[in-house]
Amino acid sequence: MATSVKVLLRNKANKEGLYPLVVRIIKNRKPSYIYIGHYIDKKYWNEDERKVRKSHPNSARLNNLIAAKLAEANKTLIELQSNDMEISSQQIKKEIKNPMSDKNFNDLSKEYLNELESNKKLNQFYADRVRVNHVINFSKSTSLSFREIDETFLRRFMSYLKIEKGVSQRSIINNLVVIRTLFNRAIRSGIVEQKYYPFGRDKIKIKFPESKKVGLSIEEVQAIANNEELSTAEQHARNVWLFSFYLAGMRVGDVLKIKWGDIYDGRLHYRMNKNSKLLSLQLPEKAIDIISHYKDSRQENDDFIFPEMKKANLKSPKDILAKTKTATKKFNKYLASIATKCEIDKKLTMHIARHTFGNISGDKIPIQTLQKLYRHSSITTTINYQSNFTHKEEDEALNKVLDF
């Protein structure tokens, strides 16, 4: 359907009996109005010529303003049509009043970060805020345009992160992912054209380096569980770590939020913090034995099993995240001490509980079952994750060749 743009005097008077000058946009028979900001008496409006009559004391200025607004509206419309953008009259109005093409990397990144924060995706919010600041600090500009973010810019940015910031290769890729996300948003919003996209074949490729995942052996887990020379703080850190391990490497943020009321019929029922999935897992006897040490502090079903969240402001996601990070840092400190006492030369952290479950499970458990235990949305993620710990076929192949 054709789009029309006209200036007219809208038939809605204000309290003084004056009528507003507007730009009217009609698309698919649906009108939208942009108010120019001036009201006049009807007697001063020339309907045939669509301009203010000379008898008005400010006719020249008003007619110049009308001409400018009309030209601006038509220019925006032509640009949108040349980009094959099929949009409504309301969207055209929005673009005229607040042109997307005027938005830069800083503007769009603020919108993106506000969206993450509003949706309570705080881990990603804090991580991506640092990455956005890396780009702005490197460019030394708060008005960096997307057309400036070309292949040369990105290669210099990658060198800057590696040499000046000492950032790992994986973290460099994470920075590029954020830039790519924002660039895709900019293209969809009409801020920049597709031809300026700096990623893809023969351009900047985003490929995550293989990460080394090391888990403990059965013997090392037994050494931790059976050590009787630990301090009270170390025993608590061990309990949380083992509880996580016994439940297939449950994330520490989920472990700390478990309440007594979440356990019934011999099962743990909880909602994952990462993707809000509802899950139900049978509690192994070893996990039941661990939580029995905390029964004395239980007063009601709504109490947390582990103490770290007892003073958290549960209405504040930021406070919950802060207390989770503080607890994790504390646990990792004591786990390092436990590793020394148990003569384990591998790095022992809360996250290693997940790697340890993967290492010990190896290829003993069907991949579909592991997907459920790990709470992965995609089985491909499980296959890639578990490939770090399954070496039976390669080992047997080597032995067959070298067995002479």
Strands 3-9 and 278-282: unpaired
- % pLDDT > 70, the chain: 84
Do 106 and 93 belong together in one domain? no
The closest alpha carbon to 148, from 135, 158, 160, belongs to 135
The yes-or-no verdict on residue 323 having pLDDT over 90 is yes
Do 222 and 164 belong together in one domain? no
pLDDT tens per residue, range 20-50: 998 888 877 788 888 888 999 999 999 999 8
Model confidence band, residue 69 (pLDDT cutoffs 50, 70, 90): confident
Do 94 and 106 belong together in one domain? no
- pLDDT at res. 280: 82
Please give the Cα distance from 378 to 362 (Å, whole number). Answer: 19
Model confidence band, residue 155 (pLDDT cutoffs 50, 70, 90): very high
Do 255 and 272 belong together in one domain? yes
Do 160 and 252 belong together in one domain? no
Model confidence band, residue 391 (pLDDT cutoffs 50, 70, 90): low
161, 134 in Cβ contact below 8 A?
yes
Do 247 and 141 belong together in one domain? no
The yes-or-no verdict on residue 399 having pLDDT over 90 is no
CATH of the domain at 175: 1.10.150
- Is residue 201 one of the residues assigned to a domain? no
Do 119 and 93 belong together in one domain? no
Model confidence band, residue 156 (pLDDT cutoffs 50, 70, 90): very high
- Is residue 111 one of the residues assigned to a domain? yes
- pLDDT at res. 379: 79
Do 18 and 133 belong together in one domain? no
pLDDT (mean) for 185-203: 87
pLDDT (mean) for 222-249: 94
Do 238 and 350 belong together in one domain? yes
The closest alpha carbon to 286, from 245, 230, 332, belongs to 245
Cα 154–Cα 102–Cα 81 angle in degrees, nearest 5: 100
**What is the chain's mean pLDDT, rounded?**
85
- Is residue 304 one of the residues assigned to a domain? yes
- Is residue 211 one of the residues assigned to a domain? no
The yes-or-no verdict on residue 365 having pLDDT over 90 is no
Give me the domain span that covers residue 258: 218-361
- pLDDT at res. 89: 58
Domain count within the chain: 3
More confident residue, 94 or 116: 116
The yes-or-no verdict on residue 315 having pLDDT over 70 is yes
- Is residue 85 one of the residues assigned to a domain? yes
Maximum average pLDDT range among 313-317, 368-372, 377-381: 313-317
Do 120 and 86 belong together in one domain? no
- pLDDT at res. 395: 60
Please give the Cα distance from 344 to 336 (Å, whole number). Answer: 9
- pLDDT at res. 136: 95
What backbone torsions phi and psi does residue 349 show, to the nearest 5 degrees? -135, 175
The yes-or-no verdict on residue 17 having pLDDT over 80 is yes
- pLDDT at res. 199: 95
Model confidence band, residue 149 (pLDDT cutoffs 50, 70, 90): very high
User: DSSP secondary-structure letter at 143?
Assistant: S
Do 79 and 154 belong together in one domain? no
The yes-or-no verdict on residue 272 having pLDDT over 80 is no
Indicate the residue among 146, 162, 196 that finishes a domain. 196
The yes-or-no verdict on residue 197 having pLDDT over 80 is yes
pLDDT (mean) for 303-320: 92
pTM of the entire predicted model: 0.63
Do 128 and 21 belong together in one domain? no
pLDDT tens per residue, range 283-293: 899 999 999 99
